[in-house]
């Protein structure tokens, strides 16, 4: 049983005047996909606050439509890399990359379930053009060659920051040679955080965008790290369908043909990422020009995006079934058979609740209600064992990373309670 009151208290405690921080200390600002998931939690007990979360997030949208992955509200001293390192000159200081575009999906759910129509209707009217601009940005700037598959320029953009899927692509990136002080290690055990050589490369990329004046052509041509992240592609596809529905609901049809043709293009191209051998879709390293053979939870997210046909879905279902069996607490973010699996290091094995929610949604859509329920039970088990931690050790179920974490509490409220 979820302690609903305790989960609500987590969101209230992490509320900073209209935006929710993921957790106190480690993540003191507003992160885009955290914020979208968290809004679904707020929706269960404070509808106005849920919409406010969205309005505040989109107040930081760039003129070109990009929605930054971090909005630095207030004093950024406690966080590294802060706005000065990113170098973006926006009115509200922000990072210069995005994150998995789950917002249109969240807004659609909010609009459909919100009881107070006097808030929901004007909110949708205000947010819809911003959501459209955001999706247009992905297709225009992240798929300039119209391949149907948007690309990503930073592991942090995937939201699965330290996933082993990115190791080889990241290894090709030069390391920065400047001195800096990480702030994450002051909050969390280094056993659970990325190693320094990885961090040096993360920073090289941050600096690279700045040196290139955030010019999308220059970055696309020269960025030493370019991948097709199957997680982003799948989430964008789901969100794109939700956005088309939102346009219809709002009676705003102008963008629909454009969005639908992008959705169709992605649907056509996705087959190229399928691996029969691995029974899932693979991320692609665009610089090396090859698939990334690492099974992470992103590789089954095409179920959430509705991108697989029934026969491919059936293969993924078998894979997920075995994946669930392989650890005591599930679903491990990296398949335990990987030699890079680590049960408690960031995105290299632990369990994240919102990913389980997306996978379960996808399974239900494809008619696999029993397996979806198993994923849900496995998720509940993590919370029963350890509470509202950022993520959970796939072997012991121990809570890892930050405690009293917003998206964990929000998924508990929205999905498990």
State in angstroms the smallest separation of the CB of 128 from ligand GLC. 24
State in angstroms the smallest separation of the CB of 383 from ligand GLC. 17
- How many residues touch ligand GLC (CB under 6 A)? 7
State which residue, 159 or 336, has the beta carbon closest to ligand GLC: 159
- Interface with ligand GLC (CB under 6 A), residue from 60, 93, 159, 336: 159
State in angstroms the smallest separation of the CB of 118 from ligand GLC. 32
**What is the footprint of ligand GLC within residues 300-319 (CB under 6 A)?**
none
Distances (CA, A) of 156 to 17, 58, 174: 26, 19, 17
DSSP string, 120-182: HHHHHHHHHHHHHHHHHHHHHHH-TT--S---BS-GGGGS-TT-GGGHHHHHTSPPP-S----
- Interface with ligand GLC (CB under 6 A), residue from 161, 175, 207, 245: 161
DSSP β-bridge partners for residue 228: 284
Find out whether 374 and 324 touch, Cβ atoms under 8 Å. Answer: yes
What distance in Å separates the CA atoms of residue 113 and residue 107, rounded to the nearest whole number? 10
What distance in Å separates the CA atoms of residue 290 and residue 282, rounded to the nearest whole number? 10
**What is the footprint of ligand GLC within residues 170-199 (CB under 6 A)?**
none
What distance in Å separates the CA atoms of residue 395 and residue 336, rounded to the nearest whole number? 10
State which residue, 27 or 166, has the beta carbon closest to ligand GLC: 27
State in angstroms the smallest separation of the CB of 31 from ligand GLC. 4
The stretch near ligand GLC (CB under 6 A) out of 9-17, 29-37, 101-109, 238-246 is 29-37
Catalytic residue among 143, 285, 342, 390: 390
- Interface with ligand GLC (CB under 6 A), residue from 7, 33, 291, 412: 33
What distance in Å separates the CA atoms of residue 348 and residue 335, rounded to the nearest whole number? 9
Mark whether 260 is an active-site residue: no
Mark whether 390 is an active-site residue: yes
Catalytic residue among 136, 161, 200, 252: 161
The stretch near ligand GLC (CB under 6 A) out of 27-35, 169-177, 246-254, 265-273 is 27-35
Based on the shown chain and the rule CB under 6 A, indicate whether residue 31 belongs to the binding site for ligand GLC.
Answer: yes
DSSP string, 198-254: HHHHHHHHHHHHHHTTT-HHHHHHH-S--EE-HHHHHHHHHHHHHHHHHHHHHT--T
- Interface with ligand GLC (CB under 6 A), residue from 22, 302, 350, 397: 22
What distance in Å separates the CA atoms of residue 393 and residue 400, rounded to the nearest whole number? 7
What distance in Å separates the CA atoms of residue 113 and residue 404, rounded to the nearest whole number? 26
Residues in the site for ligand GLC, rule: CB under 6 A? 22, 27, 31, 33-34, 159, 161
> Catalytic amino acids?
161, 390
């Amino acid at each position: 049983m979820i302690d609903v009151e305790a989960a609500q208290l987590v969101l209230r405690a992490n509320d900073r005047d209209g935006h929710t921080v993921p957790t106190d200390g480690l993540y003191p600002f507003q992160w885009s996909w955290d914020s979208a998931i968290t809004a679904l939690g707020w929706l269960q007990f404070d509808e106005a606050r849920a919409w406010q979360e969205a309005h505040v997030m989109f107040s930081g949208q760039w003129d070109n439509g990009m929605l930054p992955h971090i909005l630095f509200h207030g004093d950024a001293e406690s966080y590294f890399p802060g706005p000065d390192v990113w170098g973006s000159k926006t009115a509200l200081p922000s990072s210069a990359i995005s994150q998995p575009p789950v917002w249109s999906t969240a807004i659609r759910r909010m609009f459909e379930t919100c009881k107070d129509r006097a808030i929901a209707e004007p909110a949708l009217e205000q947010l819809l053009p911003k959501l459209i601009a955001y999706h247009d940005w992905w297709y225009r700037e992240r798929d300039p060659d119209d391949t149907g598959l948007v690309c990503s320029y930073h592991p942090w953009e995937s939201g699965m920051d330290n996933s082993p899927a990115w190791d080889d692509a990241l290894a090709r990136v030069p390391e920065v040679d400047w001195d800096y002080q990480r702030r994450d290690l002051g909050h969390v055990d280094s056993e659970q955080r990325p190693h320094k050589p990885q961090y040096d490369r993360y920073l090289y990329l941050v600096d690279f965008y700045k040196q290139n004046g955030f010019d999308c052509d220059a970055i696309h041509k020269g960025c030493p790290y370019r991948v097709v992240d199957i997680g982003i592609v799948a989430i964008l596809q789901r969100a794109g369908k939700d956005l088309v529905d939102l346009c219809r609901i709002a009676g705003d049809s102008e963008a629909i043909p454009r969005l639908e043709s992008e959705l169709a293009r992605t649907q056509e191209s996705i087959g190229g990422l399928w691996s029969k051998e691995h029974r899932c879709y693979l991320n692609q390293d665009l610089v090396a020009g090859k698939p990334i053979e690492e099974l992470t939870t992103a590789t089954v997210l095409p179920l959430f995006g509705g991108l697989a046909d029934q026969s491919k879905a059936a293969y993924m279902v078998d894979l997920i079934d075995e994946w669930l069996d392989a650890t005591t607490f599930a679903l491990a973010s990296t398949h335990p058979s990987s030699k890079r699996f680590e049960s408690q290091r960031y995105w290299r094995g632990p369990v994240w609740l919102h990913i389980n929610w997306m996978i379960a949604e996808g399974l239900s859509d494809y008619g696999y209600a029993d397996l979806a329920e198993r994923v849900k039970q496995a998720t509940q088990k993590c919370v029963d064992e350890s509470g509202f931690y950022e993520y959970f050790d796939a072997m012991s179920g121990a809570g890892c990373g930050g405690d009293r974490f917003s998206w964990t509490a929000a998924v508990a409220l929205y999905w498990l309670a």
